[in-house]
Amino acid sequence: MKAFGLAVMLGVVAASAPVRALEVIGSSGFLGEWEVSATVTETASGRTKDYRGPLVMKHIGLCTQDGPVEKKGEMRLQISASSQLNATLSIPGTECTASGPMSDSYNGTMTCSDRQVIPLRLRVR
């Protein structure tokens, strides 16, 4: 019975811990033709915080004649106490990674498994 009570108490404590979510917005591509958006939720904290959540990449370039093309996937972020960002953007068939210093935004490149290096700009709120 004590074990059950302890499990219930631990469940209440774990359930009451606030889950931190971040909104990530930005763009990718040489002309910024892909709009990037994600809402990521904290999955681990400590000196490095881990986040994960759904990703939407929308092609907003001039070549979109039938409306914007959307690709959905997952974003994983790690943000260290020293403001180092490691990001993984996964969409079906492709995985892209980016890393570098971040203040309130990241302005750099991402490397994709099936493409050349692509400019990436992210703002985390």
Write down the domain spans for the chain.
20-124
Is pLDDT of 13 > 50?
no
Is pLDDT of 14 > 70?
no
Give the range among 2-6, 87-91, 99-103 with minimum mean pLDDT: 2-6
Is pLDDT of 7 > 50?
no
Is pLDDT of 104 > 60?
yes
The pLDDT value recorded for residue 20 is: 86
Phi and psi at 61, nearest 5°, equal -70, 170
Whole-angstrom Cα distance, residue 96 to residue 100? 14
Whole-angstrom Cα distance, residue 42 to residue 79? 10
Percentage above 90 pLDDT, the chain: 66
The pLDDT value recorded for residue 8 is: 43
What's the rounded mean pLDDT across residues 27-50?
94
> pTM to 2 decimals?
0.80
Cα 42 to chain centroid, rounded: 10
What's the rounded mean pLDDT across residues 27-36?
95
Is 20-124 in CATH node 3.30.70.20?
no
